[in-house]
Amino acid sequence: MEQFSGLLRQLRQQLEQVFPTEAGWRQIILPVPERLATMLLEWLAAQAVFPQFYWRQREGQQEAAVCGALRQFTHPAQAQAFLYAYPAARLWGLNAFDNRALLFLPRMEILNYSGKGELTLNLFSEHSLDEDVVAASRWLDELVAAKPLAEMQTTVASVLHQPERSEWENQLRDVLQAIEKRQLEKVVLARRTLLTLSSPLFAPALMAASRKVNHRCYHFMMRFNAHSAFLGSSPERLYRREGRHLLTEALAGTVANHTDGQQARALAQWLLHDVKNQQENLLVVDDICQRLQGGANAVDVLPPEVVRLRKVQHLRRRIEGQLNHGDDADCLQRLQPTAAVAGLPRQAARDFIQQHEPFSRGWYAGSAGYLAVAQSEFCVALRSTQIDGAQVQLYAGAGIVAGSDPAEEWQEIENKAAGLRTLLQPENKL
């Protein structure tokens, strides 16, 4: 596309300036033509530079395509320290369920704010900024224009659940016994589904397909290389911070959706008044409020509402507060993992998960998003999948509390996994 070629010419002209030979950090910022700003996923998919991160905010107000890594961080505290030194920077990536992280300062970042595009080229060196300018110029040579994404052309050859239903139901009964003995209040039991495909899956194609049908969700994708990626379409915000103003939520309590609007509304009304689901949601609310103590004040919990998605409906309560400090490492430590993806008490629930789940959650039930000094936002990494060539791992979980029914909870994780699985395997073949 001529528009992208023009941007590259402008960037190279900017790089012809004289830069210092000592350590430093600079940004070159250019406006992006509207057509390119609306093709960020297509542009990112065409590139052969990694890592890549794609992000689309739940309300559609912000979309981003970033690639290349100048600095990487394996813990949020490291990322936070970097931002204190370079307050105009923005870092993107994932935080795992076990508190590992892959956050990075990208070489290039293209943002779309409601149709208005902006490209940022980051320059950074701990030795010589002038040397990094040379590296950046070479890096630009690898970039290409956006091109349309081809539709997925793969089929599912085999399906394996871990754990299978009988083992998962045994775990559920163990949780219910522990709850009865007051050892636990809630545990989120997850399932991993291994799909073997007829051919390698192109991650951006699945991201595009999910984005098209899974509305009212955050869409995120981390491509580690050409064959490996983690992506998802999550309905749940971990938190959004603007300065010291915090927005978070309790998304817990689930019922099926229905294609008939009247039946869907009837199910939503049942969810709003069901004792078991209300209890599950309030447990998460109480946990969030307790974890914010000492870090925030003026915490306000809004009335419950129902979020209607393609396959399920969720009970949600929004929570607002004023932070004592705009520290994202502290926010992540307090809020992740929430009781909605782990359980209560948090450490006891995590211990149960580690001892009983027959797989590592990895990035699933962690978080995806970005952090910067001015504002940050992370979604909970739900309705997600790990792609490695023709091997696809789908994740879904259900919150187990007193009164949980094994058949109903298994159907809940089936419904949740269907958000992505039905894009690979039509419902009449499940």
Active site residues: 186, 236
Check if the beta carbon of residue 173 is closer than 8 Å to that of residue 187. no
**Under DSSP, is residue 379 helix (H, G, I), strand (E, B) or coil?**
strand
**Residue indicated by tokens 């390119």:** 36
- The one-character DSSP state at 146 is -
Tokens of 55: 């992000």
What kind and span of H or E run contains 373? none
For 34-66, b/e burial (b = at least 16 CB within 10 A) is: eebbebbbbbbbbbeebbbbbbbbbeeeebbbb
* Cross-strand pairs, 49: none
Check if the beta carbon of residue 89 is closer than 8 Å to that of residue 122. yes
Neighbours of 347 (CB within 10 A): 10
Least Cα distance to 308 among 273, 258, 270, 274 occurs for 258
34 is in an annotated binding site: no
- The one-character DSSP state at 395 is E
Angle, helix 328-335 to helix 275-292, in steps of 10 degrees: 140
280 is in an annotated binding site: yes
Least Cα distance to 36 among 114, 144, 169, 146 occurs for 146
Tokens of 418: 């269907």
Integer Cα distance of 223 and 243 in angstroms: 30
Q: Which residues contact 425 (CB under 8 A, 6 or more apart)?
A: 155, 156, 159, 195
Q: Which residues contact 360 (CB under 8 A, 6 or more apart)?
A: 98
Check if the beta carbon of residue 36 is closer than 8 Å to that of residue 3. yes
Least Cα distance to 369 among 237, 244, 242, 211 occurs for 237
- The one-character DSSP state at 50 is S
- Which positions make up the binding site for Mg(2+)? 280, 412
Annotated binding site: which residue ranges?
Answer: 280, 412
